[in-house]
Chains A and B, each alone.
Chain A
Amino acid sequence: MKKTIIILSAVLLTGVILHAQGDTQKLQQDVAKLDNATSVNDYQQLAAGFARIAESEKTQWLPYYYAAFCNAKTGWLNEDDPDNIEGYANKAEEQIKKALSLLDTATQKKELSEVYCVVSMVNRARVFMNPATYGRQYGPPASMYIQLAKKANANNPRALYLDGWEKFSTPKMWGGDKNKAKELLLAAQQTLAGNISAGIEPHWGKKEVDDLLKQLK
């Protein structure tokens, strides 16, 4: 009997390791796909995939983070179809809250910074539903979370990108500044170029930053 238990324990352990590897692999695959995602369809497919991984890895913040990011990004991509944002924003909010609850906010500053970026994006997506009215309600938290993300990790290129995006998109009257935007985006570009490690850690942003810089020329 004892033997059986030992064998079983060993088996169990192997199973866990194997499985962890399986999920990591899946996550890795999807994160790699994310690098080439462009359309709502791409992001939605990935959002479903990440949600699926999150379902089995309920203690990992990354799958939730990526699922939330894909849904928030869908909200951004639907900027011209404002009736079709709220559902994605709701879903993203639910997922990013889960990701946040899995972090130790005292020590995991880098991770926290990434999560705050997505929280900001969710709020910004809500602004897109109707900037004239939702702007007043969701615009301030959208900016606030960028600042919190920068506070948690001053070198997070995604926080720099979002900050730059905001400076770029806001009319001058309300604090927009194209020069400052360029500065932030260039800094983001530089940081992004500095760490090309394409693992499962959040590393999106190059495409977004490059696109925006093109518009700034």
Chain B
Amino acid sequence: MAIALEIIDLEVEIDNKNILNGLSISIKEGEIAAIMGPNGAGKSTLASVLAGKEGYIIKGGSVKYLGKDLLKMSIEERAASGLFLAFQYPVEIPGVATSVFIRTALNAQRKMRGEKVLDAAEFLKLARVKAKELQMSEEFFSRAVNLGFSGGEKKRAEIFQMSMLSPTLAILDETDSGLDIDALRVVAEGVNRLRSNKLSGLVITHYQRLLEYLVPDTVHILAAGKIVETGDKSLALELEKRGYQGIIQES
């Protein structure tokens, strides 16, 4: 299998503080990698840097995505080339209807890729199917983006966007936080439905719970800005027993 994402020795600083200290990881096409780690390890920074958020200083290392230099691409180019970040805290945008937003995004991506844009009817048809899969009511299409959504609705809406945009690299940033067990299952099933040998995933989480439903191919432990341990799904279970301290100290 070809390498989808390859991060080598990534060093990132924000506000004069080193957050990532030589992080290396590589993910194959079709591979779902879980990244686990204690608070402040740099998990969310990694997600933000990959998506292209401003304010981070890249001090060293490289990130290649499907052979291209990801760090040189604009935020929207990253999205158009298949990167999708499911936010830990999805942003509320009053005054912008969810369906208008997703259609604009989808068509902007399609345009950048030189594909045909979807008209309103084609879009709606697709959106209805996807919403149903995630047990979401269509009423949410006309609601403002994330505005007044409950925690669960927000996360579900992220996965809905993901399924509409059909990315090739999905980064889930603590998508399980704030979800009850039923919502967690729906979200995990939503992601599982999208799994294919074309979709790579980076699942950032604190807990092993999500990984029961969304079974990863590899598990990496991030501490103090570095990957300190890599293994298969059993590593997550071991972590559950011994805690971060036990594993980090050992390594």
Real binding pair:
no
